[in-house]
Amino acid sequence: MAIIRPCADLRNKYNEVSKICHETNEPVYITKNGYNDLVILSNEAYEEYEEEKINRLMDEYFDKKFADFEEFKNNIYQKLEESMKDIQNGNYRPAQEVFKEMEEKYKINE
């Protein structure tokens, strides 16, 4: 069942609202003038939500990109073969060089 609280509770009963969020791990709907205005979650619940969202998006991407696992494996094998041929032909750069270039280009570790 949805947990609904008026916006005044955020100011007057913050600790109580926070406790509800943490104990139930469910969203608390905050109303303003009788209408839904906000939804709040504990940090833990929000992180779980974000993780589920990322996993769902990755699954959707994978499902679109690779209709089946055989296609996925064949794609990986093809890329590995191409990579091995590049290495045999001397078409590669050391990883340290590539990482250093990326750090400089994107101003990482400055």
Largest CA distance in the chain: 70
Residue 96 has pLDDT above 90, yes or no: yes
Which two tokens mark 13? 């009963």
Which two tokens mark 80? 């590995």
Rounded distance, CA 5 to CA 38, Å? Answer: 10
Domains, the chain, with CATH or none: 1-65 (3.40.1620.10), 69-110 (no CATH)
- Amino acid identity of residue 89, one-letter, is N
**What percent of the chain shows pLDDT beyond 90?**
78
Cβ–Cβ contacts within 10 Å for residue 10, how many?
A: 15
- Taking Cα atoms as reference points, which of 33, 13, 54 lies closest to residue 21? 13
Residue 12 has pLDDT above 90, yes or no: yes
Average pLDDT over residues 64-82: 87
Q: What is the mean pLDDT of the chain?
A: 92
Average pLDDT over residues 52-58: 94
